[in-house]
Amino acid sequence: MASVRDLKKDIDLIMSLALSDCFYVLEYNSDVDDKAVYEIAGDIVKSHRELRLRAIHPDGKDNPKLVKQYYKKIVEDMLASADAALERLSAEVKKVAK
C-alpha cells in the first residue's frame, strides 16, 4: 500500500461506482423496486463512511506488521462490501427482468 491518502481515494472510487450503478438502475429501469434500491444505496453510503473512518484511525501504530494487516483488512472489507451491494442490486434487477 502506498499511502493512506491513496487508500481513501480507492475507497471513494469503488463506493462511488457502486452507488452510481444504483442510480443508473433507478434512472433506466422504471420497473425496479425503488425502495429496495435506495436501501442498497444507503448501505453503500454507510459502508463508505465506516471504511473512511477506519482508514484514518489505524490500530497498532507502533507495529508496522499490524498496521499492514489492518489496512489489508480494510481493502478486503471494501471489496466485499461493494461486491455484496452489487449482488443485491443485481438480484433486484433480475426480479423485474423475468
For the chain, the average pLDDT equals 93
* Residue 2 confidence class, pLDDT cut points 50, 70, 90: low
- The pLDDT, as a whole number, for residue 61 is 80
- The pLDDT, as a whole number, for residue 92 is 95
- The pLDDT, as a whole number, for residue 59 is 78
- CB-CB contact of 47 with 12 (8 Å): no
SS3 30: coil
pLDDT by residue (tens digit) across 18-63?
A: 999 999 999 999 899 999 999 999 999 999 999 999 999 887 788 8
**Residue 98 CA: distances (Å) to CA of 31, 55, 86:** 11, 41, 19
* Residue 1 confidence class, pLDDT cut points 50, 70, 90: low
Considering the chain, what percentage of its residues have pLDDT values greater than 70? 97
29 grid coordinates: 429501469
- This prediction's pTM: 0.91
